[in-house]
Structure 1
Amino acid sequence: MTDRIDLVLKDTNAGCACCTTSAATDAPASTSAAVTKDVLVDGMTCSHCVSSVTEELTAIDGVENVTVDLNAGGTSRVTIHSAAPIDSDAVKAAVEEAGYAVAGSPA
């Protein structure tokens, strides 16, 4: 019989209690995206946060891919790849639905 060993690994940079392990959540880059839009998002601290925002944004019609440059506890850059321009109000609503706030215009 083989015993299982739980290593209880934890992301030391994680800020929320829901995370016990880290997971890759960025979707693979799409080469067919015609439009790229950067949005700054406040409040994300871990891979679960990235996953939540990514899930809500990819549910918007036309969004092909979302990548996140996580700045744990600060302002993170979220890049949305789409076939056509995405409405800013839809992006803001999706980010807020995930439980975070759009910080402002990216530099």
Structure 2
Amino acid sequence: MKLIVDNMTCNHCVKAVTKAINDVDPNAKVSVDLTKKEVTIDGGSISQEAAIKAVDDAGYQFVGIGY
């Protein structure tokens, strides 16, 4: 799944978003592209709704689904 997430600007943001998702699903593989503002989640069993909530709870703004 790919999420478009606003207000990510640096490696601290990458770590915060990755940790937020891995706190919900430790088996999820998370990669972040700051240029595209895209968070890709592979594996694991986290639902789209749970991933969006984790991102929002970490202080970042979910803006859409990536393709």
- TM-score norm. by structure 2 comes to 0.84
How far does residue 64 in structure 1 lie from its aligned partner after superposition? 2.6
Residue by residue over 1:11-47, the C-alpha shift from the partner in whole angstroms, topping out at 9 and shown as x without a partner, is: xxxxxxxxxxxxxxxxxxxxxxxxxx11110010111
Structure 1's unaligned 5+ residue stretches are: 1-36
Structure 2's unaligned 5+ residue stretches are: none
Q: CA RMSD in A?
A: 1.6
Separation of aligned partners in 2, 1:103 and 1:80? 16
Question: Which structure: greater strand fraction?
Answer: 2
- TM-score norm. by structure 1 comes to 0.56
Is the radius of gyration larger for structure 1 or structure 2? 1
Identity rate, percent = 39
Q: Which of structures 1 and 2 has the larger relative contact order (alpha carbons within 8 angstroms, sep 6+)?
A: 2
Runs (4+) of structure 1 exceeding 6 A deviation are none
